[in-house]
A and B are shown apart, each in its own frame.
Chain A
């Protein structure tokens, strides 16, 4: 029941909230002054992660009543960087981008195909596309369109694996369309690019 345990929490939360609010302030000021967006160097996040893991490990020693909290934070920032369940850094939505995209599965008439009914989770297909895109870049495919085509190919195979033997989706082609979103002064801008068509064998 020492005050040191509570103090570790208060300091950690206060520092984190202060960084968040200060960053907001700096970002607003940079925008007003028309300065380019802040970009951090490649190794900086890794160094910050290591620093946080060390701080959390120290906090676990000095605050034994909250040791579980700090040990888990330290493990999240070490083992979690490679997504070793149950440890994770929970990076979802941690890097808001100036554009967003999604995949749309369309029938021949351009209407949306509810692929969930085929047993395919749309968000899983989207994440799979991201992974395949990264893989294509690693393989040296630099052309954006070629990389997208290469990433879409495994999705076509998945659609074909899950295509029902009967019904309206059994024989109709399904087009995988990349939908990109961006914000302009006139509002939301949506660009649709058909990538590849899944045709029943």
Chain B
């Protein structure tokens, strides 16, 4: 049960940096799509303290977006990293808060926000320790970037563990027994998917993904014990995410498990969360190590 922070090579750290830069650009590039078009009637978090109405302006969004692209490129290139991370964290928190303050909380960017905040904090703490000769002890790794990566991995594990615990808390521990009811939600999600415009083809034929989801839902609806086992596996994968912190091989296995969970969600509930998958792939699976 002894813990050792993985020893990443400079190439691995550089690939992780480029990977995170890519996820940031991907996330910010869809900022202008589907924005709340009126006053924030159900403010959450920061929106309760600060007026975020200017975030509705196209000009402000464009500015924030281009700023994020520049910051992501600086970060990926290893230039002005503390400033780039601070900017990206603030911009994403503002954006996610704004979009979630319309009566519909959007968790799609929460993992990226948690990773960016963890990296910003790691970078600031590392630089402060370097400047004033603090001893960070077990908190830090060998380098500033390795510390930022280690904190990001912990942030990812915290998100999945919290999600798993919430399921247990809200059902008094009976989540697996009731999980088959999510199949009903799956049917609802299919209907929702059909209305996105992506769910139907020009000739009125349904996209293959929707057809496959309908087949999977129908198969599991008639085998409820199997459905419970499938959902139980998903919950255990979420709850076991922190085990990945105990070693590199377990981290890789936990990462592959989390990606499989998202693929399952995509098939059954039409919820792919691609940014979550990418972040798990970058930090947990660590593709370069897996391949070489």
**Which residues of chain A have a CB within 8 Å of any CB of chain B?**
1-3, 5-7, 9-10, 12-13, 16-17, 19-24, 26-28, 31, 38-40, 44-45, 48-49, 52, 64-70, 72-73, 76-77, 79-80, 82-105, 112-117, 119-124, 126-128, 130-132, 158, 161-162, 179, 181-183, 187-188, 190
Contacts and interface: CB of A to CB of B under 8 A. Distances in A.
B5, B171, B177, B269: most-surrounded residue (chain A CB, <10 A): B177
B284 interface: no
Contact of A124 (B102, B162, B166, B173): B102
A89 B114 contact: no
A contacts with B: majority SS: helix
B238 to A, nearest CB: 9
Contact of A100 (B172, B187, B198): B187
B184 A181 contact: yes
Given A116-B196, A179-B191, 14 more contacts: A9-B246, A12-B242, A13-B239, A23-B171, A26-B177, A65-B3, A66-B154, A69-B157, A86-B92, A86-B110, A94-B163, A94-B166, A112-B195, A188-B221
Interface residues on B, range: 35 or more
A28 B162 contact: no
Contacts of A80: 162
A94 B175 contact: yes
B62 interface: no
B240 A5 contact: no
Given A24-B176, A77-B162, A86-B96, A127 B104 contact: yes
Contacts of B16: none
Contacts of B223: none
A161 B178 CA distance: 39
